[in-house]
């Protein structure tokens, strides 16, 4: 029951908006015909042909970093982490300082 007035209001608003924008563009100006270029078609095509050689097609941030080599064993790192938790140097689980 409450949706009917909203639908009528929305329909009226869209009709009013369409009527208000009906005469925004002046057809006598013909914007596309007013453009004058100082460059030739061949110059533009030559520039367009150079673009692929000067730009990267790789999206920004898509590179994967190489795997870093380390002499440290996983077991040594885990043992150090366990020792740090025992000494209270780092928090454990969801506990925070």
- Classified as helix, coil or strand, 3 is helix
Residue 7 phi, psi dihedral angles, 5° rounding: -65, -40
Q: Is residue 97 part of a domain?
A: no
Specify if 62 maps to a domain. yes
51: its two tokens:
């673009």
Per the structure, the complete domain to which residue 78 belongs is given by 3-87
pLDDT at residue number 59? 72
Q: Is the pTM above the cut of 0.95?
A: no
pLDDT in the model for residue 43: 92
Let me know if residue 92 belongs to a domain.
no
- E strands, 1-97, in order: none
Q: Are 81 and 75 in contact (CB under 8 A)?
A: no
Residue 66 in domain: yes
Q: Per the domain annotation, does 94 fall within a domain?
A: no
> Looking at residue 32, what is its pLDDT?
59
CB 69 within 8 A of CB 75: no
DSSP 27: T
Residue 24 belongs to some domain of the structure: yes
Total domains, the chain:
1
List the chain pLDDT tens, one digit each, 97 residues: 577 777 877 777 777 666 555 555 666 666 556 667 788 999 999 988 887 776 777 777 677 778 888 899 999 999 999 999 899 888 777 766 5
Rounded to whole angstroms, the Cα distance separating 35 from 31 reads: 7
In a domain, 48, yes or no: yes
């Amino acid at each position: 029951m409450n949706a009917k007035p909203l639908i009528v209001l929305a329909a009226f608003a869209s009709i009013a908006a369409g009527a208000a924008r009906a005469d925004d563009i002046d057809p006598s100006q013909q914007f596309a015909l007013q453009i004058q270029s100082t460059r030739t078609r061949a110059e533009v095509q030559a520039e367009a042909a150079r673009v692929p050689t000067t730009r990267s097609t790789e999206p920004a941030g898509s590179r994967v970093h190489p795997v870093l080599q380390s002499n440290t064993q996983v077991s040594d790192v885990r043992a150090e982490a366990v020792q740090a938790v025992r000494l209270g140097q780092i928090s454990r689980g969801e506990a925070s300082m």
